[in-house]
Chain A
């Protein structure tokens, strides 16, 4: 037996099986420089054992291996050095799979990214049959591609089409799916069972070879590369990808391309092709922006860094006022986490609908037993009587967006609540301070702005009013953790953060349409930039009537007198009964299948401006949102650009490929943005006046992120 700091080899002379244990410093095995050195040394040790019959790669940590060290991937811009590192990794993995002894991956925990690729370089993969184990290649969701041979080994292991799905979508699989798709070969009940199976497999497969190293290798799935069938698969995969991404994401394209080119080559040359695409993506801006936001920012926000903490919210009973889609959804997520829920509305009819919604949603949860589902549904009680709300620890109101109504509800409800109870409003825009005026316990009053459908949308925007206590915030943050929501905490102000950015988006689209720009181009421009939903489509979904009401409400709170061609168009559409998707008529005509932009729009607006281009439209849509985000920061509503990235992407579908509105501004450059704004203001679009922080940054040449 020999010892390394992070890697050690255990040899069982009786079976001839060596186990290479990975247990790197820290909490997880990551692929980095230390891995390269340590793994090779341990592998050499293992291979030098006299009487070696086989090798098991195992982890001493909870996870098998979580992939590349993202700190390093985020920092590096040195293509030359990175290529050399990747080349070294390929050499190591080739050595592993061609050493002449069978190698088994003991997947006792998650094998993701480079960890999955390490497992793919073994001859046999046995995974622990546990819901905690995840296997997959999620690289493209961080703007990079697999760099440890994943784009080459996976299609050769499971076939072109299933591999392309995993590679292009960055899929992470649970163990049963991984077995079905062929990423793992066998399941084990526990560590002992796994070890026994590994030893048995080694004994039975002394001459194990990777399929791609065997003479006369045939690709699985029946489609061989460089055939019309293979070309169709790649062409189809590429097209489906572009249909989904509108070309905004470069990493999945690179993954498909590397798989395609590599499919035509010898295995080792194919690895070099992958390495070139990998390095090209890693050093790209898109990868940096996506890693920063989706890894570092997301992790920091999820850990609620810098925010007041309590271990537990102390809530047992949660009341939700208003049993619409949102109220019923809130009941589902609370009941699912063990809270007793009271869902209150003023009519039995609303409650009946809500009950059906709760049951349908709970029924969808496939991983739960019938008993568990029953228990969750049984935790929700439905009432029209405030008496049943008594004893609640948290109340979330989700009634109509009307100040007087909300004030009345607050008063009526607080009358039955205890001293310690927290009252939260799910308003999407009304200032919490104004709502709290009706509260007898303003320290216990807070905004919890959820997004629809709340079962799916991962964000909650937490709004603290002037009087909101630290303890109230801390308890609500604990509640967010328990209900698995990412919480972004902002200060109060009309529309808070997310609603302001979202409004800027859809209202800018309305302006563009009102100026005569082709609505079809407006929708496409947004998609081209990576916006999750095109603005007119989502405007129709939230309804034009709501948009109009929100503007009236904003005028009331901000004292701004809002008037513009876009707002006049909005009013005209509402007056014509074009209220949105639910009404079957909005910016779109829903009688056509598929929906089409309403032809009558053309008659309500001038001819398209001569210089109308997709890029011009796209710039205005993005700039409008990014400027609004910067304003909220400048005004102190938003506490940090980091929160803005998470809030905008997870709350209102800001283009994930950009990393968020602040990363987008950084890539444009503050000076360029300020200059562009000056031009737009000169063209009569006063709303593009940049906030002070951007002007100062333009002067200083500063950026939001390093």
Chain B
């Protein structure tokens, strides 16, 4: 098997995912096309050389339905012979797209694949695509609960306290604000412009740098009422009979932000990269996706990362920098502790609590973030991992070249 290399990574800034957000008036397909164009422009890419465009997107309905990858190729003005595929592994979709691309390239079935993701959460609401997971029988037979309940259950089971999640969230804000101020995201960012070229958004806008652990302490738990009054906590008892009460620790301030965003990466084998006149930035060492217990849902980052480490014949000690998606603060803390990483090597530029989590794009965003930071710190290895709805996890390990 050959190697797959990352040649470049770009992303749009993340806009607040509501009608008042700067990207609300931008069509989802334009958001994705912005990322594609950003990638092709700055690499002077002959798009006819692209074998495939793999895009992760979770809520594939409405404006994000019907294979948005293919439509974005056309909107971006890419060569119309380039095909596109849109896939859904919930929050792991963006990273899944990278892994799929890497698999095609490494196996020799493709030479150049663009991977990425898009989620326009202000225009296409989370959950509006329905799905089998919503069937009442999944509650009766499995005790499936909404993610917020799972996150609180995870915290309860592992003794992660409200103070800890709030402190983690405040630190995410601090780090993100510093990173933005120092321009650490600038290498990846492609501004979103309107049809006359006026910039609509050039920087992430979800941050709340004034946040402190103390200010967060005042927020009410988001899932307590849902859990206790509407019976959702009770659903978890079948799997977790030992949990007498779920400690509801999560709220809007220590959970990932709802945002609009897109990202794209160029992945190719060495020969194709040479042909395109490009220099590889990193090699994909390994990746893994795993399924795990669906009620706790969010803890499979650990087995996914362990499997990826094993495939790469590495241990946690071999990893320099880590991006753990901050779906909920407890997930990041649980994963960091479970894998034995130090806090100062995890999410060094903040995470989704501060910057937002455009579901299908986040995996691709985080890959760009870790790559930029490895280069900035001149370090070698990075791991990206995300928890995934339905009880799955995904992880990818890269190494700079």
Contacts and interface: CB of A to CB of B under 8 A. Distances in A.
A520 B234 contact: no
B244 A243 contact: no
Interface string A231-245: 100111111111110
Contacts of B65: none
A183 B300 CA distance: 48
B205 to A, nearest CB: 26
Interface stretch (A253-261, A360-368, A501-509, A622-630): A253-261
Nearest to B149: A239
A229 to B, nearest CB: 10
Given A524-B237, A525-B241, A614-B241, A238 B139 contact: yes
B136 interface: yes
Contact of B134 (A235, A239, A253, A528): A235
B109 interface: no
B139 A520 contact: no
Interface in A252-274: 253, 256-257, 260-261
A521 interface: yes
Contacts of B136: 234-235, 237-238, 253, 256-257, 260
A594 interface: yes
Interface residues of B, number: 25
A687 to B, nearest CB: 25
Contacts of A228: 125, 127-128, 130
Interface in B92-144: 125, 127-128, 130, 134-137, 139-140, 143
A520 B230 contact: no
Nearest to A261: B135
A397 interface: no
B88 to A, nearest CB: 17
Contact of A239 (B137, B231, B238, B243): B231
B316 to A, nearest CB: 31
A376 B181 CA distance: 79
A597 interface: yes
A226 interface: yes
Contacts of A453: none
Contacts of B125: 228
Interface in B125-171: 125, 127-128, 130, 134-137, 139-140, 143, 145
A242 B231 contact: yes
A242 B295 CA distance: 15
A596 interface: yes
Interface string B227-241: 000111111011001
B20 interface: no
B377 interface: no
Given A235-B134, A237-B136, A257-B136, A242 B235 contact: yes
A518 interface: yes
A308 to B, nearest CB: 47
Interface in A208-226: 226
A524 B230 contact: no
A246 interface: yes
Contacts of A234: 134, 136
Given A228-B125, A228-B127, A242-B231, A520 B242 contact: yes
B245 interface: yes
Given A253-B140, A257-B140, A260-B136, A242 B242 contact: no
B232 to A, nearest CB: 5
B140 A242 contact: yes
Contacts of B232: 239
A72 to B, nearest CB: 28
Interface in A48-104: none
Interface residues of A, number: 33
A528 B241 contact: yes
Contacts of A518: 242
A238 B136 CA distance: 6
Contacts of A521: 241-242
Contacts of A239: 139, 145, 230-232, 234-235
Contacts of B237: 246, 524, 527
A242 B234 contact: yes
A215 to B, nearest CB: 24
A243 B128 contact: no
A521 B242 CA distance: 6
Nearest to A594: B245
Contacts of B243: 520
Given A239-B232, A239-B234, A246-B234, A231 B130 contact: yes
A565 interface: no
A574 B237 CA distance: 30
Contacts of A242: 139-140, 143, 231, 234-235
Interface string A577-595: 0000000000000000010
A637 to B, nearest CB: 35
A260 B137 CA distance: 10
Interface in A481-500: none
A594 B245 CA distance: 9
Nearest to A518: B242
A243 B134 contact: no
A240 B231 contact: yes
A448 B143 CA distance: 44
Interface in A551-604: 594, 596-597
A238 B241 contact: no
B137 to A, nearest CB: 5
Among A238, A239, A247, A594, which residue has the most Cβ atoms of chain B within 10 A?
A239
Given A228-B127, A240-B230, A235 B241 contact: no
A353 to B, nearest CB: 34
B393 to A, nearest CB: 24
Contacts of B137: 253, 257
B239 to A, nearest CB: 11
B245 A247 contact: no
Interface in A512-533: 518, 520-521, 523-525, 527-528
Contacts of A256: 136, 140
A523 B241 CA distance: 9
Interface string A410-421: 000000000000
13 contacts: A228-B127, A228-B130, A231-B130, A235-B136, A235-B139, A238-B136, A240-B230, A242-B231, A242-B234, A256-B140, A257-B135, A521-B241, A524-B241
| 5 closest A-B pairs by CB | A243-B231, A243-B234, A239-B231, A238-B136, A524-B241
Given A226-B130, A256-B140, A518-B242, 8 more contacts: A235-B136, A238-B136, A239-B145, A239-B232, A246-B234, A253-B137, A520-B243, A520-B244
Interface of A: 226, 228, 231, 234-244, 246-247, 253, 256-257, 260-261, 518, 520-521, 523-525, 527-528, 594, 596-597, 614
